[in-house]
Every structure is written in C-alpha cells, then in structure tokens.
Amino acid sequence: GIQVEQSPPDLILQEGANSTLRCNFSDSVNNLQWFHQNPWGQLINLFYIPSGTKQNGRLSATTVATERYSLLYISSSQTTDSGVYFCAVGRGGGNKLTFGTGTQLKVEL
Amino acid sequence: DAGVIQSPRHEVTEMGQEVTLRCKPISGHNSLFWYRQTMMRGLELLIYFNNNVPIDDSGMPEDRFSAKMPNASFSTLKIQPSEPRDSAVYFCASSWGTEAFFGQGTRLTVV
C-alpha cells in the first residue's frame, strides 16, 4: 500500500514563531488532507489539497503532486496550535485515507 | 449540520463482552469509514461503505469485528468478544466523494 511519511516527528516552538511541516507519499494520489488533532482527540479538517496551494488565516498548504509531497505552513504560532498534525492521502476510488504518523507540535509561551 | 455523530464517547467493558459502537454520518454523504487509532499503529482504516454497501473490509483485524450500515444515516461497529488489545479510539468518518469529516471518536477500554 501507499506509504506516508511526515517530518519532523516532534516540534517545539515559541509563540509567534513560524514552522513548516512536511508530508511525503510513495505513490500518486487524488486525495490529500491535513488534519489537526487537538488535545481532546478531535480530528479537525485543515485542508483538502490534492494539488496546488491554499490558505486559511495563519495556515497555508501546498501540494506538489508530481513530486509526491505536501507542506503545511503555520505562521505566528499560538498555544492553541498545539497538538498533532496528520497528513492523509488517498488514491483511486472510494476516498479511503492512509494516514501518516503525524507531527507532534507544542507551542510554548 | 451537526457533523458526524458517534456514540458512546467513552466505553469501558470487561474482556469477553460484546461492544457496539454507533455512527451517524453527515446527511447526504455517500461514503462512511471506520478507523481505529492506537499508539502502536496510529490511525488505520478498518472498513468503508459506499452507498451503504461494504466495499473494503481488509482492515478489519479479526472475525470478532463486524460492521453494518442498514441505511444511509446509521452504521455500527461491533466487537464480540472484546479483548484488552481492542482498547483504542474508534473514529467514524463520512464523505461525498472528496473531503472526509470525522466524528469525535469513541474511546474504548477493555479490562
């Protein structure tokens, strides 16, 4: 099956700092989503981005499908950004997702 | 829309008991997914349905696990008999062809 690798596995930031999270995948995909799992365990949709670039407030994402990677940018980080960020990809029909192992982010004051 | 609704939020049961997890997908979505999250294996797909029909159950770990979708607004995941290694957070998700949305999960503890 398709492999999804995320880096870095862990990240500690001071509030206000910027960061870039990376997701590499082993095969062509037609679905890519970024999620934030908050400290209460809820999976929150950030982006549906199989290709191209999107922005939502302090967050933006870029997927280069031909090179099999996606990047999530977090600017001016806040303590509420803490949690685990997952990249998930899908291919073919059905829209079933394969998840990466996540990036654990902690934002400190 | 209220989003994907799962119940119960927490379940503690004794080994050997039957456990039933429930999910109500977002209205109008035609695909429903069950995922399991553990520290060791991360988030993994157990089974998915399209138009209420099971399409891929290759992720179901054992015959002790079964899932049904009797109609477009309801699905169940049953574990019988339950074992301590089944302890995990179980997520239900739904989609309409593209973006998938997840419920808040059921935290299952089997003692």
The pLDDT profile of chain A, 109 residues, written as one tens digit per residue, is: 899 999 999 999 999 999 999 999 999 999 999 999 999 999 999 999 999 999 999 999 999 999 999 999 999 999 999 999 999 999 877 778 999 999 999 999 9
The pLDDT of residue A95 is 78
- Per DSSP, what are the bridge partners of residue B20? B78
Instruction: Answer whether A14's CB lies under 8 Å from A106's CB.
Output: no
The pLDDT of residue B50 is 95
A contacts of B105 (beta carbons < 8 Å): 41-43
| Residues in B lying within 8 Å of A, measured between beta carbons | 31, 33, 42-45, 48, 50, 55-56, 89, 91, 95, 97-102, 104-105, 107
SS3 B50: strand
- Nearest CB to A86: which of B31, B43, B95? B43
Closest CA to B91 of B50, B16, B22, B36: B36
The pLDDT of residue B73 is 96
Q: Give the number of other CB atoms < 10 A from CB of residue A74.
A: 22
The pLDDT of residue B97 is 79
The pLDDT of residue B39 is 94
CA angle B101, B51, B29 (to 5 degrees): 30
The pLDDT of residue B25 is 98
Say how far apart CA A101 and CA B4 lie, in whole Å: 23
Ranges under pLDDT 70 in chain B:
1
The pLDDT of residue B1 is 66
